[in-house]
Amino acid sequence: MNGRLRILLVDDESQFRDTTRRLLTRKGYHVVTAENGQSALHVLTEVEVDVILLDLKMPVLGGEAVLEIIRNRYPEVPVIIITGHGSMDIAVACMKKGASDFIVKPFEMDQLLIAVERTGEKKKLEEKAKQTQNELIRTLFDFNTEKKRLRTIINCLANGVMVTNRNLEVVLHNPALMRLLGILERMENPFPVTKIITDDSLIETLKKMQGAGFPENEMISQEINAGKTVLRAISAPALGPSKNVFWTVVGNVTVFEDITAFKRLDQMKSDFVNMVAHELRSPLVSVRQLNSVLLEGLAGPLGEKQEEFVSRGTRKIDALLELINDLLDVARIEAGKHVQHQVPTDVGRILKETVALMAPRAKARGIVLACSCRDLKPVQADPKNIEEVFNNLITNAINYSPEGGRVTVTAEVLGEHMQIKVEDTGVGIPAEELPKIFDKFYRVKHPKTRQVTGTGLGLSIVKGVVEAHHGTITVESVPDKGTVFRVLLPLIP
């Protein structure tokens, strides 16, 4: 440690300089000497020193004058005053002018060493503190730079951004948010989120995210209305440090996107599909009725070939009518008009009737179709819609099961819900395709099921109907083992 300190010894007594220099050198210090103040100032222009030992009474330029010059030119270098006079007034005066310490002649060399070591340590601590301060200033500067850059980015976003704290106060927002919400008033953070958000479901979402047990990486997307504008709000927990744990939820971050144009396009698409389906169904029904007249021989006898062609055309018309009916069902579900008349419904009876209707088809394919209903209670539902759900699920189970397979339909009460399970031993569904099977027009591709025809709308309709009844539908599947669909419908309280 001592070897890193360079000392300038300034004294007009040559014997004292030589003795002190040898002592300090043996202790590992680098020592440079000067015989007076003027010489000392010259040395300082050429050599960088860590500590100065300065005698007060010297010819040419005295110690007090040198001290004043050093304090102005080299304020970071500590000065220890060496004086042959024991006056405390002189010592106090020197300390006021910036001296770090003083020693009165004559003194023991241990006193000098202690004073030098103490001053050296003090200088190192000051340098360390200065370095730490500079690092802190640089860190704060970088932090403020990043903060300003982030704020600029957020303010330039077309999407609205809102950050709330645990008290549901808005602590950060951008101009796009106020524009999307149609708010002209300028607001200073923080302010209650209810001042700009009136949608109760979004407020509940923000509260839910701050509750215990909510996954930190989960996001919730929902649609809200702001006047005539439809917004998609994607919310996620905001994390921050805590006393008890390193990271904890300290608020929420919500991004708002204007999807009004997409909703209008979607509505136009639905209206177009609805119109086309209606316009197509009427002539197709008429053509089918004419084919039925021909097949029944009411317009005269048909030859074998003629009857085959007319029957084939009738089957094609039936397939088109099925597609049209599915499209109309999807349009009604999206418009919220598919489920019309909900009444206390005996699900067990509907299941048994559906299974009885499907039994001949299953038998023709060599598939065992079984049904089990135990201690069922009524649910509030539209019987026609519920029958459509079961018809779709059981038909799919039969179509995607190989010859010799088995389809099992069970219904039972689970707490406040009724569970309907349709299980098959068919080809199964790959794990990567499971999230897509309820999408419109999506069909699972499998070499063993190429002969199965369909519109790809059945499961989308099933999901829409179940959710319209405040229920849920889930699926589990193992390729080449089978698939299980589970429907949960709430019981009548």
pLDDT grade, residue 1 (50/70/90)?
A: very low
Per-residue H/E/C for 85-140: CCCHHHHHHHHHCCCCEEEECCCCHHHHHHHHHHHHHHHHHHHHHHHHHHHHHHHH
State the pLDDT confidence band at 444, using cuts at 50, 70 and 90: low
Res 265: pLDDT: 82
Q: What is the pLDDT of residue 88?
A: 64
Q: Is the pLDDT of residue 450 over 60?
A: no
Choice between 273 and 476, residue whose per-residue pLDDT is larger: 476
Checking if the pLDDT of 291 tops 60, the result is yes
The more confidently predicted of residues 443 and 235 is 235
Q: Quote the CA–CA distance of 196 and 168 in Å, as a whole number.
A: 12
pLDDT of residue 22 exceeding 60, the answer is yes
For residue 10, the cross-strand partners are 34, 54
Q: Is the pLDDT of residue 452 over 70?
A: no
* Mean pLDDT score of the chain: 83
pLDDT at 256 over 90: yes
- How do residues 339-383 score in pLDDT, each as one tens digit? 567 788 888 898 899 989 889 888 888 989 898 888 888 888 888
At 255, is the pLDDT very low, low, confident or very high (cuts 50, 70, 90)?
very high
Residue type, 261: A
pLDDT of 281 higher than 80? no
| Residue spans of alpha helices (H) in 296-365 | 304-334, 347-364
State pTM to two decimals: 0.50
Question: 85 or 492: which carries more pLDDT confidence?
Answer: 492
Q: Which residues pair with 222 in a beta bridge?
A: 233
Mean pLDDT, rounded, for 397-412: 88
What is the share, in percent, of the chain residues with pLDDT greater than 90? 7
